Amino acid sequence: MILVAGSANIDFVTQVAHIPAPGETVLGGDYRLSPGGKGANQAVACARAGQPGAAGVTFLGALGHDAFADTLRASLAGSGVVDRTLLLDRPTGAAFISVSGAGENAITVASGANAALLPEHLPSLQGVTHMVLQLEVPPQTVDAYAAAARAAGAQVILNAAPMRALSADLLRNVDLLVVNEGELRQLLSGSGLEAGGPDLHAQLAAALDLGPSAVLVTLGERGSLAARRVEGSLSLTEVPPHPVRVVDTTGAGDTYVGVLVSALSEGLPLERAMRRASVGAALACTREGAQPSMPLRAEIEAAMSSP
């Protein structure tokens, strides 16, 4: 079983001609509401990409007693995610997203109930093979969940977004750290290390020295690159992007993580899992929204088999 623990937000999404600069006001189109949040997004992507009849995906998060919570829970259920959300006396988290004509986005998150997800809320990990975490919930919660998962023998996948300072204990408990280029640079500088200049391989090697068993960096239109140490030597796995016409990149990174973990849980080697994740994330970019854009397994398989 895959347990995804993290944030759930309602997204307020507005189309704009360009992302506003500091101090700039821009007029946008009508806003739309969409279920989101990095944790819930990754759970939905993972479930949609999963194999029929597999052990399944469970989501642990915190919501408020409001209509937004109903929207989020309906999206989880509609995607086949087992819902372990807590209803707390805090508003459901919200994200305010501007999407440009080029498909790029800028996001501000109001944490709400996500900030009240605590270590003691973790259920039994019996049967959990993979734990997926992000950084939109309290640091002590992420640290505790990773330690518990490692002790239970589960694989720990950490998507270090939005980036913050990470404890040495947390990083040592991580089997696979997933970041983008900016987050990788922040991780290294925040740990007092040189970013390695433009040499991405050196940056990945430095990130491995912090403790995780493997580090994967997503590179947008340049694909993705993973690094591990095999018998003391740096071993790299590189996967090219899957070309599409981009409409909206919101949720693409979360789709990548969800599809990746789904593939890994089926026993696929890392390179094949990365290829499947690359296709899934690309398909998500061809549609609007976060969870509504996430592809089904059949769509991913069809795209992978097409010339």
Residues annotated within the binding site for K(+) are 248, 250, 284, 287, 289, 293
Give the CA angle between residues 125, 280, 41 to the nearest 5°: 45
Give the active site residue among 89, 143, 175, 254: 254
Binding residues for substrate: 9-11, 37-41, 136, 254
List the alpha helices (DSSP H) in 152-269. Answer: 168-172, 181-190, 200-208, 252-265
Crossing angle of helices 252-265 and 38-49, in 10° steps, is 50
List the alpha helices (DSSP H) in 60-164. Answer: 67-78, 139-151
Binding residues for ATP: 180, 218-223, 253-254
Tokens 């500091």 appear where?
22
**Residue 254 bears catalytic tag:** yes
Cβ atoms 180, 157 nearer than 8 A: no
Q: What is the DSSP letter of 16?
A: B
Distance CA 159, CA 43 (A): 13
Burial class from Cβ neighbours inside 10 Å (0-12, 13-18, 19+) for residue 101 reads: exposed
Binding residues: 9-11, 37-41, 136, 180, 218-223, 248, 250, 253-254, 284, 287, 289, 293
Distance CA 55, CA 155 (A): 15
Burial class from Cβ neighbours inside 10 Å (0-12, 13-18, 19+) for residue 202 reads: middle
List the alpha helices (DSSP H) in the chain. Answer: 38-49, 67-78, 139-151, 168-172, 181-190, 200-208, 252-265, 270-284, 297-305
Active site residues: 254
